Chains A and B, each alone.
Chain A
């Protein structure tokens, strides 16, 4: 048997993905703490399968402005990771790292762009390592690209990419808190179908 859509996933499969989400979020929180030189607490992440419309609503509606960061997974596991950061969260990060906030225009200058990109890089690395540690598969992440725009427009990118697979995506919602840092953070983890099969097979779980 092979996976064709996310509907083929049973409870055990979903538990595995949840566990990846949990480990990834835990790693991301410690990475963030060392980068910001401040303790960062993380609530238990909420992991769910949602359709795009639901994700939009959770994030404040299709026209809500958001900072989107997109990376690709390459290697044994292929797919996409997308971070959806509220502008408050991006501002908190920039305050901690650079002592400045987002420019009023909403346009990032080069310095802010690099700082946010680096944070995304580290956080995505945490999720990639979670997959790798758990399964023994090896994977890399690409350099993150960033886009500040309406949630709906940003979500059209994974929606198009995964249109043939599913109208649902694995949605992880974390609440990071720490000094000057208190904002929800959202991660979309989207391995392709073949990679999902590899993850399960390597863990000895039947498809």
Chain B
């Protein structure tokens, strides 16, 4: 599909399909493989991250819309990236100094548009009608009960086995313990691996994200 990036893995294919689906759902401009390849290249700013930069940007956008309590953060993130893709295509851009800035500005527009749509639902507790009150803890507890804690734990054990032993060791030690113990563990871990605290936290977060994605898929199966 994307001849300019033969090394891009199937994750990118999935992402493109998602972009197309979102565009079709909204009856707007439909992204092409070429436009998508150009977006990836543009986001990488000359390097080749094998789609990783795109994934990171999409995750950040999803989190952004989620913190805004948008009803469908994933759809809004895809809509944002569609618009950026179209903009890159139309402006024939392969490089830009601040692609992330353009993504952010676009996301703001998308967010403000979503506020005007009737299907926007804020789940902020202050916006909800008072009676009957919804206790988010009860919702969380019910959901957890439904999904099954045992199943989640089993999935987690299975997913952890897919991790390299070194990553598994890192993530367990990075997140184990309370407050002071945790900080001491992290210092020792960083010293042991010759990493800065920042680099260690980035690595731990990535492993955790990977594990969470795996568990989410496992639970849904």
A, B assembled together: no
Which residues of A pack against B, CB within 8 Å?
none
Which residues of B pack against A, CB within 8 Å?
none
